[in-house]
Structure 1
Amino acid sequence: MRVYLPCTLLVLATAVEAGELGPAPLTGYAVTPALTEWYASGDTEELEYVALTEAARASLRLLAADRAGGVVTTPRRVVVAAEVPEGSVSAGVDLEERARVRLAQPIPLAKVAAVHIDDLDAVPDIAAAAAALPAADAGDDDAKFTVDGAEAHELMWFATQEIPDLLDS
């Protein structure tokens, strides 16, 4: 099963050092039965794109939390796509997050299929979205517009052997 794990560049660097994404439990996003039922007209590729988009939103939240905690990092959303056995994934029942899953074990880097990341051109918009997230959550329409603007940027795809180059950029 393909699972999309929200990440940041700092978390990715830590995972490379450790040889795995963790610690468990991990929150990811995948094509779940609830997502398939809700998005009945979509094919597998469309459903995977929905899961990837949800993971990108969660990555933005990780960036906002880093920012609030004083962690300085390049504001780029990062999503790690991994292949995991279906038995290691449990789907939630949250109707707002139909694609959300929990993984009970860390994910070895050998199971990573690809990394999706914002282009450097997106950095100003992603930084603005991360800064606006608390106000957006409080109901500020202008802040919501700024946060939604982050989704105008498509994540780029990188093979696993390109991860060291991503961490150096």
Structure 2
Amino acid sequence: MRIYLPATLSMLTALNSSGEFRPVGGTAFALTPALRESYLDGDDEELAEAAIREAARASLRLMAAEGDGPGDGEGEGTPLPARRVVIAADVDEVKLRPDLDVAVVKTSGMVTLSAVASLLVDGSEAEDKVIRAMELVDAADLGDEDAELAIGDVEDFDLGWYATQELPFLLELL
């Protein structure tokens, strides 16, 4: 099953170094039967986009939870920009979790780089909106309409698609 794993740039750096990615809490998003049922219509590509949007929002939560906020270069002296990151991977076993949300699945263990199908990352033009959305994602989740509008502003930016072979170059160009 194709799953969409929320991540951060520091997590991509670790994936590049180790060849493995451990999803936080095993949480991922996918085109699940519950997601399909929640839409009146839409093809698989449109529904996968909904799962990707959910993973991108979860990426905002991960960045906010990292504690250091944007610019955490992991002590390397080079701050990392604020960008949403979603890792698309193909895994054999997931557990559907419609009790958490219609697109949520849980996976166990590491996801290897060989299972990664592609990487989805914000471009530099989204950074200001990403920083603002990071500050407000919790408030949006709790129903704050102004915060939800800020999240909508960042969701207006499409994530760029990168092949796994491009990972070292993507990180180098940041």
Q: Do they fold alike, i.e. is TM over 0.5?
A: yes
Q: Which amino acid aligns with 2:84?
A: R
Q: Which one of 68, 71, 78 corresponds to residue 70 of structure 1?
A: 68
Confirm or deny that 1:116 pairs with 2:142: no
Alignment-derived partner of residue 42 in structure 1: 42
Pair 43,119 (structure 1): closer, same or farther in 2 beyond 3 Å = same
The aligned amino acid for 1:148 is G
Selected match of 2:104 from 100, 103, 109: 100
Matches within 5 A, 1:72-87: 72=72, 73-85=80-92
Q: Distance in 1 between matches of 2:65 and 2:110?
A: 22
Q: Give secondary structure in 1 for the equivalent of 2:17.
A: helix
Looking at structure 2, the residues matched to 128 and 75 of structure 1 have their Cα atoms a distance apart, in angstroms, of 10
SS in 1 for 2:41: coil
When the two structures are superposed, what TM-score results if normalisation uses the length of structure 2? 0.87
Q: Which runs of 4+ in 1 moved over 4 A?
A: none
How far apart are the structure 1 equivalents of 2:152 and 2:10?
24
Cα shift at 1:78: 0.4
User: Displacement of 1:136 after TM fit?
Assistant: 3.3
Distance 2:41 2:89 in 1: 25
Secondary structure of the residue aligned to 2:161 is strand
**How many residue pairs align between the two structures?**
164
**Structure 1 residue aligned with 2:32:** 32
Output the aligned Cα RMSD: 1.7
Can you give the 5+ residue segments of structure 1 that lack an aligned partner in the other structure?
A: none
* 2:145 counterpart of 1:141: yes
Secondary structure at the aligned position of 2:119 is classed as strand
Hey, what does 1:91 align to over in structure 2? Answer: 96
* Mapped contact 2:97–2:104 kept (Cα < 8 A): yes
Q: CA deviation at 1:40?
A: 4.3
- What's the counterpart of residue 7 of structure 1? 7
